[in-house]
Structure 1
Amino acid sequence: MSPHVSQVHRSPVHGFSKTTVEVIRLIEGIGVEGDAHCGVTVQHRSRVKANPSTPNMRQVHLIHEELFDDLRAVGHDVHPGDLGENITTHGLDLLGLPVGTRLLIGEAIVVVTGLRNPCRQINDFQAGLLKQVLRTQDDGQVVQLAGVMGIVARSGAVTAGDRIKVELPAEPHHPLTAI
Structure 2
Amino acid sequence: MDQNAPDSSAVVRAVSSSGTHTFSKPGRDRIRLLAGLGVEGDAHLGTTVKHRSRVARDPSQPNLRQVHLIHAELLAELIEAGYDVAPGQLGENVTTEGVDLLGLPTGTLLRLGQTAEVEVTGLRNPCRQIEDFRTGVLARVVGRAEDGSVVRRAGIMGIVRTGGEVAPGDPIVVTLPPPPHRPLECV
Q: TM-score range by the shorter chain?
A: over 0.9
1:41 aligns to what?
Answer: 48
**Is 1:175 paired with 2:183?**
yes
2:63 aligns to what?
Answer: 56
How far apart, in 1, do the equivalents of 2:9 and 2:98 lie?
Answer: 6
Identity %: 58
**Misfit runs of 4+, over 6 Å:** none
How far apart, in 2, do the equivalents of 1:71 and 1:139 lie?
Answer: 25
How far apart, in 2, do the equivalents of 1:76 and 1:139 lie?
Answer: 28
How far apart, in 2, do the equivalents of 1:77 and 1:122 lie?
Answer: 13
Instruction: Write out per-residue CA displacement over residues 24-70 of structure 1, whole angstroms, 9 at most, x where no aligned residue.
Output: 00000000000000011000000000000000000000000000111
| Deviation at residue 139 of structure 1 after TM alignment | 2.1
Q: Structure 1, unaligned stretches of length 5 or more?
A: none
Structure 1 counterpart of 2:160, from 152, 161, 165: 152
How far apart, in 2, do the equivalents of 1:138 and 1:96 lie?
Answer: 18
SS at 2:76 equivalent = helix
Instruction: Write out per-residue CA displacement over residues 99-119 of structure 1, whole angstroms, 9 at most, x where no aligned residue.
Output: 000001112000000000010
1:141 aligns to what?
Answer: 149
| Deviation at residue 2 of structure 1 after TM alignment | 2.2
**Is 1:26 paired with 2:33?**
yes
SS at 1:152 equivalent = strand
> What is the RMSD computed on CA atoms of the aligned residues?
0.7
| Deviation at residue 75 of structure 1 after TM alignment | 1.9
Q: Give the TM-score normalised by the residue count of structure 2.
A: 0.94
How far apart, in 1, do the equivalents of 2:83 and 2:136 lie?
Answer: 9
Instruction: Write out per-residue CA displacement over residues 90-144 of structure 1, whole angstroms, 9 at most, x where no aligned residue.
Output: 0110000000000011120000000000100111101111111001123212111
Structure 2 counterpart of 1:69, from 76, 81, 85: 76
Q: Give the TM-score normalised by the residue count of structure 1.
A: 0.98
Amino acid corresponding to residue 103 of structure 1 in structure 2: L
- Residues paired across the two proteins, number: 179
Structure 1 counterpart of 2:17, from 10, 15, 18: 10
SS at 1:84 equivalent = coil
SS at 1:124 equivalent = helix
1:115 aligns to what?
Answer: 123
1:127 aligns to what?
Answer: 135
